[in-house]
Structure 1
Amino acid sequence: MLSQAVPAGGMRSMLRGLPVLNGAGPPFDPLATPDNPVELFVDWLLLAIRSNAVEPHTMTLSTVDNDGRPSARVLILKDVDASGWHFGVNADSQKGRDLAARPVAALTFYWPELVRQVRISGPVVADPAEVTGADFLARPTGSKAMALTRRQSQPFLDPAELDAALDQARSELDSSPNGVPDEWVSYAVRPERVEFWQGDPTRRHQRIRYDAVDRSWTRTRLWP
């Protein structure tokens, strides 16, 4: 039972005792950053990859539904370029419905190995059809089959029903290997604000925020 696993001092005490900020962040000067946040993000991402950070391309996607309820989910970054940060979702899923109701989102990247975090927020737009198609077709076969069940986020009651849906999806893939379901959409977050954070064990964190203003960017150094 959970109560038997919690130490005598309680959950709060146990959590407070866990180590934090144990990574090794490279030197970072917020005053010597490029004019465009995409360039700095790519530099940070490439370093995370070279440093063998765990799944460095994963990110938390945060959205809001039509009633104002927030929702967050970890997804994979598919691309980043001048048009934004790209990801793919099923339009009929909870995330797809959120974006249809309120096409804005926030992304959060965290690389504990480097004690670095990046936050991006802005409007979300659908990518061109050819980008969506290429994104879906590049997915692993199992991922494509699961997407073709068209049941994401629906209540799950019977494993046999899942097996049958996957068999049907695989048949669809075999008969139409280049087909792209209408429900699959590649989106891009077009950034209005991007913040870079590098942690420090003494809490003298380094932070800089980019804000989009009149088709250019302003940079503001922030208190830790």
Structure 2
Amino acid sequence: MVAGRGSETGSIRDLLRGLPVFADELPVFDVDSAPASPVALFVDWLKAAIEAGVPEPHAMTLSTADAAGRPSSRVLICKDIDVDGCWYFAANRASRKGRELAVNGHAALNFYWPRQGRQIRVSGPVQPTGPERSAADFLARSPGSRAEALAGRQSEILTDPGELATAVEEAQNKIAATPDLVAQDWTLYAVRANEVEFWQANRERCHIRLQYVRDDSSWIHRRLWP
């Protein structure tokens, strides 16, 4: 049995090692012409990703940790970026990520665009933006997304799928009766970046890494070893 499991593991390892990496044409990253602000560079890369047809370039991995430092991650949609170096996302504050942010108010974001061999890493403290902006974000969502959020109980154990269907239907009826209804726990969060790293792949594995670090009201940027 042990040998069989080892053989199976070996085949999976070989399968993974045989997959191509950076098969597409990689863009040029001229570090010397990088802007002073990571926000400006992020917008440049985002526009380039959109023009290149990268699927869902606004999707990002959000990593949080609980009070004991145990991490968890999930993929969300980036809602906005501002000139102050804040990246925005929305979530139910009663969810696992919301509960973790309540006890450990720091998070990390990661954008990955494999067609271009590019990653962008963002980390910093997280703060709720307030009820008005959270409500505006909620009302900008599709009716289906609002109904799912209004149904609530995110991350709880689901024993009966029929119960979920009933809760969503009830939420849909509430939205139809009150179009401006907002889920009580819906929260727009801002990650105020204190570090942003831009990673550009290189086929020879001499990857380019440019790190921005916040210095009061300005930014310092520097190259990192691959």
Question: TM-score scaled to structure 1, two decimals?
Answer: 0.94
Secondary structure in structure 1 of the residue aligned to 2:116:
coil
The equivalent of 1:51 in structure 2 is: 52
Residues 111-120 or 77-86, more deviating: 77-86
Unaligned runs of 5+ in 1: none
Distance 2:65 2:10 in 1: 37
1:14 aligns with 2:15: yes
The equivalent of 1:112 in structure 2 is: 114
Paired AA for residue 61 in structure 2: T
Distance 1:141 1:57 in 2: 21
Paired AA for residue 94 in structure 2: D
Report the count of equivalent residues.
221
Distance 2:167 2:152 in 1: 9
Secondary structure in structure 2 of the residue aligned to 1:24:
coil
Distance 2:141 2:116 in 1: 29
Secondary structure in structure 2 of the residue aligned to 1:113:
helix
Aligned 1:49-128 pairs, distance under 5 A: 49-83=50-84, 84-128=86-130
The equivalent of 1:217 in structure 2 is: 219
Distance 1:22 1:131 in 2: 41
Distance 2:131 2:89 in 1: 14
Residues 53-62 or 120-129, more deviating: 120-129
The equivalent of 1:35 in structure 2 is: 36
Cα displacement string for residues 161-208 of structure 1 (whole angstroms, at most 9, x for unaligned residues): 011101111121122211212200000100000000100111011110
Note the C-alpha offset of 1:102.
0.7
Residues 8-17 or 209-218, more deviating: 8-17
Paired AA for residue 17 in structure 1: G
Secondary structure in structure 2 of the residue aligned to 1:68:
coil
Cα displacement string for residues 54-80 of structure 1 (whole angstroms, at most 9, x for unaligned residues): 111100000001121100000001111
Paired AA for residue 93 in structure 2: A
Distance 1:9 1:152 in 2: 38
Q: Is the CA contact 2:130–2:187 (under 8 Å) kept in the aligned structure 1?
A: no
Note the C-alpha offset of 1:82.
2.2
Query: RMSD in angstroms over aligned alpha carbons?
Result: 1.6
Q: Is the CA contact 2:63–2:107 (under 8 Å) kept in the aligned structure 1?
A: yes
The equivalent of 1:161 in structure 2 is: 163
Aligned 1:106-185 pairs, distance under 5 A: 106-185=108-187
What percentage of aligned pairs have identical amino acids?
Answer: 49
Q: Is the CA contact 1:7–1:14 (under 8 Å) kept in the aligned structure 2?
A: no
Note the C-alpha offset of 1:129.
2.4
Question: TM-score scaled to structure 2, two decimals?
Answer: 0.93
